[in-house]
């Protein structure tokens, strides 16, 4: 039933293992320039970490630290020992780099294999990876995991939907790795080209790398007939394989033998009360090449209380509601893009894509939501369209407490990207 004996660890075993691995990790980290400096600044020596509570004496690591350490200031072993590096997309300023030793790649692959097995994938499954390869960790990360598990892996990469579908059909693909916005795009493509998505026969979809709502999951499962498992990770912590849903599909188990997780209040930096939402902070416990201590992910989530029916005691993360830097403030009201997605994806008239625009009217910030409408609802009757526009605006207002301007557009009218979708365009500075 389990892929790895680590899945059966009790809470007590987990704590014991975490402490011994944390101590090794601190010793290793102290060999890097960044942590040698940070430890010295805090008057901390690796051997001062004697209990799990001592974790809190270790300073946080931020994205800024990683940028300033570019290209190799976090390396804890000589470069000759490294076998791979991934560089983040770095939309703003200097990118960040993560180096891996052969041992790190081995660990990462087995973590991903463990996740895949937990969803029900087995040797014999045919796995197609629809995300980009190259520097994005969802490519090689998932690929190595699938091969490790013993699946037939097809490294299709991103885009070229016609070809994706042909390979899925010709090789009887049973499991897919897919970003939610691309899954919605394929659904649309199938509708336009008269393909029944259920006839593709895909059983399992690993869906992650960007936030999506429960409503989007239900929509995708309804359209494709597969089970969609949420998958969380970030390049700094390897990539995919950090936390994954089990067959209960109720929160993502975070592998606590490999990562130490905290949820903190991003303002006070203190731990939140149990079960409250805050910023996820992660420490690697198994990495040799580039250990990272108390990394502030900026991702907002919470630990789900209570045991999981699957029996695994590794803590569960709730769906990531967004990043602390995604917060939109309009007329003093805090809004997360995910709230808008939830409302839209629950409406049958709404198609598979939308875009949020922030703009300024005089001194006042405004929000406009452009919504693709399914073909059968995109009629010439102005009254019907106006009524639909009003209905969507009202539903959004009930959720986000401000009334957005709503523009209805034909399906396929909005820009789509091959990688992660850009859902919010902020035009306020440009105006
Ligand atoms: O997106 C790693 C990954 C690849 C995860 C494939 C899952 C599947 P980055 O490009 O570094 O790494 O982006 C990491 O993406 O901090 C979150 O903000 C977001 N993210 C990743 N998974 C989820 C998810 C990969 N399931 C950043 N839900 C993270 C919400 C997610 N957000």
Rg of the chain over all Cα atoms, to the nearest angstrom = 22
Q: Is the CB of 320 under 6 A from ligand 1?
A: yes
For residue 249, the SS3 value is: coil
Cα(117)–Cα(187) distance, integer angstroms: 26
For ligand 1, the distance from its centroid to the CA atom of residue 210, given in whole angstroms, is: 5
**Tens-digit pLDDT profile for residues 70-117:** 999 999 999 999 999 999 866 566 889 999 999 999 999 999 999 999
Predicted pLDDT at 230: 98
State yes or no: pLDDT of 276 exceeds 80: yes
Atom of ligand 1 nearest to the CA of 323: 18
In our burial notation (b when 16+ CB lie closer than 10 A, e otherwise), range 218-246 reads ebbeebbebbbbbbbbbbbbbbbbbbbbb
**pLDDT cut 70: percent of the chain above it:** 98
Atom of ligand 1 nearest to the CA of 206: 8
The per-residue DSSP string of 366-405 comes to EEEEEEEE-GGG--S-HHHHHHHHHHHHHHHHHHHSS--E
Q: Is the CB of 278 under 6 A from ligand 1?
A: no
- Of all protein residues, whose CA lies closest to atom 9 belonging to ligand 1? 234
Q: Where are the beta strands (DSSP E) in 123-208?
A: 126-129, 152-154, 175-178, 204-208
Atom of ligand 1 nearest to the CA of 211: 30
* Residues 322-327, mean pLDDT to the nearest whole number: 84
Question: CA–CA distance from 147 to each of 26, 114, 141, 155 (Å)?
Answer: 32, 12, 10, 11
For ligand 1, the distance from its centroid to the CA atom of residue 277, given in whole angstroms, is: 18
For residue 253, the SS3 value is: strand
**Tens-digit pLDDT profile for residues 289-299:** 999 999 999 99
For ligand 1, the distance from its centroid to the CA atom of residue 383, given in whole angstroms, is: 41
For ligand 1, the distance from its centroid to the CA atom of residue 357, given in whole angstroms, is: 23
Atom of ligand 1 nearest to the CA of 252: 26
Q: Is the CB of 299 under 6 A from ligand 1?
A: yes
**Domain coordinates in residue numbering, the chain:** 1-324, 327-426
How sure is the predictor about 412, in pLDDT bands with cuts at 50, 70 and 90? confident
State yes or no: pLDDT of 36 exceeds 60: yes
C-alpha torsion 179→181→183→186, nearest 10: -130
CATH number of 1-324: 3.40.50.12780
**Tens-digit pLDDT profile for residues 193-234:** 999 999 999 999 999 999 999 999 999 999 999 999 999 999
**Tens-digit pLDDT profile for residues 41-80:** 999 999 999 999 999 999 999 999 999 999 999 999 999 9
Predicted pLDDT at 89: 66
User: What are the tokens at 274?
Assistant: 């149990």
* Residues 327-349, mean pLDDT to the nearest whole number: 93
Predicted pLDDT at 210: 94
For ligand 1, the distance from its centroid to the CA atom of residue 278, given in whole angstroms, is: 17
Strands 316-317 and 424-426: unpaired
* Residues 169-178, mean pLDDT to the nearest whole number: 98
**Can you name the CATH fold of 327-426?**
GMP Synthetase; Chain A, domain 3 (3.30.300)
Q: Is the CB of 251 under 6 A from ligand 1?
A: no
- Of all protein residues, whose CA lies closest to atom 21 belonging to ligand 1? 209
Question: pTM of the entire structure?
Answer: 0.95
For ligand 1, the distance from its centroid to the CA atom of residue 94, given in whole angstroms, is: 19
Predicted pLDDT at 416: 87
State yes or no: pLDDT of 431 exceeds 60: no
Q: Are 330 and 356 in contact (CB under 8 A)?
A: no
Give me the chain's average pLDDT, please: 95
Cα(41)–Cα(58) distance, integer angstroms: 11
User: What are the tokens at 129?
Assistant: 């990876």
- Of all protein residues, whose CA lies closest to atom 8 belonging to ligand 1? 209
Q: Is the CB of 284 under 6 A from ligand 1?
A: no
Q: Is the CB of 130 under 6 A from ligand 1?
A: no
For ligand 1, the distance from its centroid to the CA atom of residue 86, given in whole angstroms, is: 14
Q: Is the CB of 235 under 6 A from ligand 1?
A: yes
Atom of ligand 1 nearest to the CA of 297: 16
Q: Is the CB of 239 under 6 A from ligand 1?
A: yes
Cα(364)–Cα(405) distance, integer angstroms: 14
Asked if domains 1-324 and 327-426 share a fold, the reply is: no
For residue 72, the SS3 value is: coil
If you count DSSP H runs as helices and E runs as strands, how many of each does the chain have, helices first? Answer: 10, 20
- Sheet order of strands, 259-264 included: 259-264, 278-284, 295-301, 322-323
């Amino acid at each position: 039933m389990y892929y790895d004996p680590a899945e059966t660890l009790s809470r007590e075993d987990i704590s014991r293992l975490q402490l011994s691995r944390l101590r090794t990790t601190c010793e290793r980290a102290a060999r890097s320039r960044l942590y040698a400096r940070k430890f010295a600044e805090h008057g901390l020596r690796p051997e001062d970490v004697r209990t799990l509570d001592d974790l809190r004496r270790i300073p946080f690591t931020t994205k800024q630290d990683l940028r300033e350490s570019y290209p190799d200031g976090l390396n804890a072993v000589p470069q000759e020992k490294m076998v791979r590096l991934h560089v983040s997309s770095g939309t703003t300023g200097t990118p960040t780099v993560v180096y891996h030793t052969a041992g790190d790649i081995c660990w990462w692959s087995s973590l991903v294999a463990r996740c895949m097995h937990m969803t029900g994938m087995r040797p014999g499954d045919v796995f197609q990876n629809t995300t980009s390869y190259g520097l994005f960790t969802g490519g090689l990360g998932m690929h190595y995991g699938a091969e490790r598990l013993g699946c037939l892996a097809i490294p299709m990469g991103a885009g070229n939907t016609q070809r994706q579908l042909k390979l899925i059909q010709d090789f009887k693909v049973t499991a897919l790795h897919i970003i939610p916005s691309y899954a919605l795009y394929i659904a649309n493509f199938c509708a336009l080209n008269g393909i029944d998505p259920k006839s593709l026969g895909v059983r399992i979809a690993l869906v992650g790398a960007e936030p999506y709502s429960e409503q989007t999951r239900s929509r995708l499962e309804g359209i494709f007939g597969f089970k969609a498992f949420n998958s969380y990770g970030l390049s700094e912590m390897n990539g995919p394989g950090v936390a994954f849903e089990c067959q209960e599909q109720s929160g993502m188990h975070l592998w606590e033998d490999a990562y130490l997780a905290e949820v903190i209040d991003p303002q006070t930096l203190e731990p939140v009360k149990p079960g409250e939402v805050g910023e996820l902070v992660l420490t690697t416990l198994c990495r040799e090449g580039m250990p990272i201590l108390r990394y502030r992910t900026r991702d907002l989530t919470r630990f789900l209380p209570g045991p999981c029916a699957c029996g695994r005691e590794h803590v569960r993360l709730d769906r990531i509601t967004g990043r602390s830097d995604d917060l939109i403030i309009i007329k003093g009201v805090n809004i997360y893009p995910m709230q808008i997605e939830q409302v839209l994806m629950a409406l049958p008239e709404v198609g598979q894509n939308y875009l949020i625009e922030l703009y300024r009217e005089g001194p006042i910030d405004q929000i406009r939501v452009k919504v693709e409408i399914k073909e059968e609802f995109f009629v010439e009757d102005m009254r019907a369209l106006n009524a639909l526009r009003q209905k969507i605006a009202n539903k959004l207002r009930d959720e986000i407490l401000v009334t957005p301007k709503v523009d209805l557009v034909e399906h396929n009218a909005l820009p789509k990207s091959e990688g992660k979708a850009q859902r919010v365009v902020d035009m306020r500075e440009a105006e």
